Amino acid sequence: MSLRLQPVHVATGSQDTESQLVFADGLLVAVLVQLSEDHEDAAGMWFLEAGFGPVDDPAPPMFADLDKAQSWIEQRLARAA
Amino acid sequence: MPTAPNQQAMAMLIRKLESIATLSDEERQAIKRLPVRINVLNTRQDIVRDGDKPSHCCLVLDGWVCRYKLLNEGKRQIFSFHIPGDIPDLQSLHIHTMDHSLATMTKATVAFIPHESMRELVARFPGIASIFWRDTLIDARIFREWMIGMGRRSAFERIAHLFGEMYLKLHAVALAGDYRCPMPVTQVDIADALGLTSVHVNRVLKEMRAQSLVTLRSNTLVIKAWDELLRVSEFGPTYLHLEKRAAG
């Protein structure tokens, strides 16, 4: 399975707009949003704004970078496969 | 450390009980004679843990305490926040094994009251037993309100509702006034209590500040628009069943 990222801007109702749509085999599985300066210590991290299917999580995590986010998403998808 | 009566500690309990019911002089005196052991605790310290079988109840005298449960992968659900005057593990009198934990959120002073003494008190004073029962019923009513929040309210509404609730609870025991109260909780604590993430809590707090609804700085909550706070969160203070209400 290969993930593909597509940059977008998301209206989160905050300064956090820089985002990436994450596709797995052509299907949208997650929306990652980069946290703005508003989040102080967490600024720059990537937040799982939305996850679909096995990527959905009631306690959505934050990731230090996009590679870590993608590894996590791949693990979730692999576990469900 | 041995237990002994402590009038100051019991004054806190009496104030709390009188915020939800009326005590007779005799009942008040009996409460003042309860033996207690005072403990000063650090912040983020467990008081009683999931699975424990405590032999005393914990009365909060100073600071904030929360009930919580840890899930897999370190996930935590906070069930309730407790303030001075509360006995968050009152149920341990009748449900002997703890099914959740109790921890301090701040530095805290607590008084441990032996179960045996509590049992003697309620056996001799059925009126006090009724008030404790009433307290646990109100506790259950607050849980129902939180359930509505987590099931049906938005992040903004949940947080607004929590602020209204904590302000009125603190006001009832004379720890808040002028729409200002202590709120010594982190964004992660609020998230863990309301089924949110710290990211959402941070966004909502910024939005609330932008709307001049509330500000939360240095562990102090200032409610700038009380009526609006109640309106947006569909807050009806009746569920707290307070005898003396601050506002609303």
pLDDT tens sequence across B58-88: 999 999 999 999 998 889 999 999 999 999 9
* Partners of residue B207 in chain A, C-beta under 8 Å: 13-14
Measured CA to CA, the distance from residue B119 to residue B56 in angstroms comes to 11
pTM: 0.94
Q: What are phi and psi of B24, to 5 degrees?
A: -80, 165
* Partners of residue A62 in chain B, C-beta under 8 Å: 199
The domain spans of chain A are 3-80
The pLDDT of residue B22 is 94
Record: contact A62-B207, CB cut-off 8 A: no
The pLDDT of residue A81 is 84
The domain spans of chain B are 4-137, 155-240
What band does B244 get if pLDDT is binned at 50, 70 and 90? low
The pLDDT of residue B248 is 39
Q: What is the mean pLDDT of residues A10-15?
A: 96
For the domain B155-240, what is the CATH code? 1.10.10.10
Percent of chain B with pLDDT over 90: 92
Half-sphere exposure of B92 (CA within 13 A, CB side): 28
Q: Closest Cα to residue B197, out of A18, A33, A20, A29?
A: A33
Q: Are residues B180 and B220 in contact, defined by beta-carbon separation less than 8 angstroms?
A: yes
Is pLDDT at B247 greater than 50 in this prediction? no
Is pLDDT at A1 greater than 90 in this prediction? no
Is pLDDT at B104 greater than 90 in this prediction? yes
Q: Give B246's contacts (C-beta < 8 A, 6+ positions apart).
A: B167, B168, B171, B172, B176, B177
Distance from CA of B203 to the nearest CA of A (A): 6
The pLDDT of residue B208 is 97
Provide ipTM, 2 decimals. Answer: 0.93
Report strand pairing: B4-5 vs A62-63.
unpaired
Q: Does B4-137 match B155-240 in CATH topology?
A: no
CATH number of B4-137: 3.40.50.300, 1.10.490.10, 2.60.120.10, 2.102.10.10?
Answer: 2.60.120.10
Distance from CA of A46 to the nearest CA of B (A): 11
Is pLDDT at B96 greater than 60 in this prediction? yes
A72 reaches B (C-beta below 8 A) = no
What distance lies between CA B156 and its chain's CA centroid?
A: 21
Length of chain B: 248
- What's the longest Cα–Cα distance across chain A? 37
Measured CA to CA, the distance from residue B99 to residue B137 in angstroms comes to 18
Q: Are residues B64 and B104 in contact, defined by beta-carbon separation less than 8 angstroms?
A: yes
pLDDT tens sequence across B202-226: 999 999 999 999 999 999 999 999 9
Q: What is the mean pLDDT of residues A57-71?
A: 96
Q: Are residues B12 and B85 in contact, defined by beta-carbon separation less than 8 angstroms?
A: yes
Mean pLDDT lowest among A42-46, B70-74, B165-169? B70-74
Distance from CA of A27 to the nearest CA of B (A): 26
Is pLDDT at B246 greater than 70 in this prediction? no
Distance from CA of A47 to the nearest CA of B (A): 8
* Partners of residue B75 in chain A, C-beta under 8 Å: 59
Is pLDDT at B49 greater than 90 in this prediction? yes
Tell me what the pLDDT averaged over chain B comes to. 95
Measured CA to CA, the distance from residue B69 to residue B71 in angstroms comes to 7
A56: which DSSP letter? -
Q: What is the mean pLDDT of residues A5-25?
A: 97
The pLDDT of residue B77 is 97
pLDDT tens sequence across B125-165: 999 999 999 999 999 999 999 999 999 999 999 999 999 99
Q: What is the mean pLDDT of residues B22-51?
A: 97
Q: What are phi and psi of B81, to 5 degrees?
A: -105, 140
Record: contact A14-B195, CB cut-off 8 A: no
SS (H, E, C) chain B: CCCEECHHHHHHHHHHHHHHCCCCHHHHHHHHCCEEEEEEECCCCEEECCCCCCCEEEEEEECCEEEEEECHHHCEEEEEEECCCCCCCHHHHCCCCCCCEEEECCCEEEEEEEHHHHHHHHHHCHHHHHHHHHHHHHHHHHHHHHHHHHHHCCHHHHHHHHHHHHHHHHHHCCCCECCEEECCCCHHHHHHHHCCCHHHHHHHHHHHHHCCCEEEECCEEEECCHHHHHHHCCCCHHHHCCCCCCCC
Chain B stretch 201-240, residues whose beta carbon is closer than 8 A to a beta carbon of chain A: 202-203, 206-207
Chain A stretch 10-49, residues whose beta carbon is closer than 8 A to a beta carbon of chain B: 12-14, 16, 35, 38-39, 42, 47
Interface test with chain B among A33, A38, A48, by most B beta carbons within 10 Å? A38
Q: Are residues B113 and B121 in contact, defined by beta-carbon separation less than 8 angstroms?
A: no
Is pLDDT at B36 greater than 80 in this prediction? yes
Tell me what the pLDDT averaged over chain A comes to. 96
Interface test with chain B among A10, A15, A39, A76, by most B beta carbons within 10 Å? A39
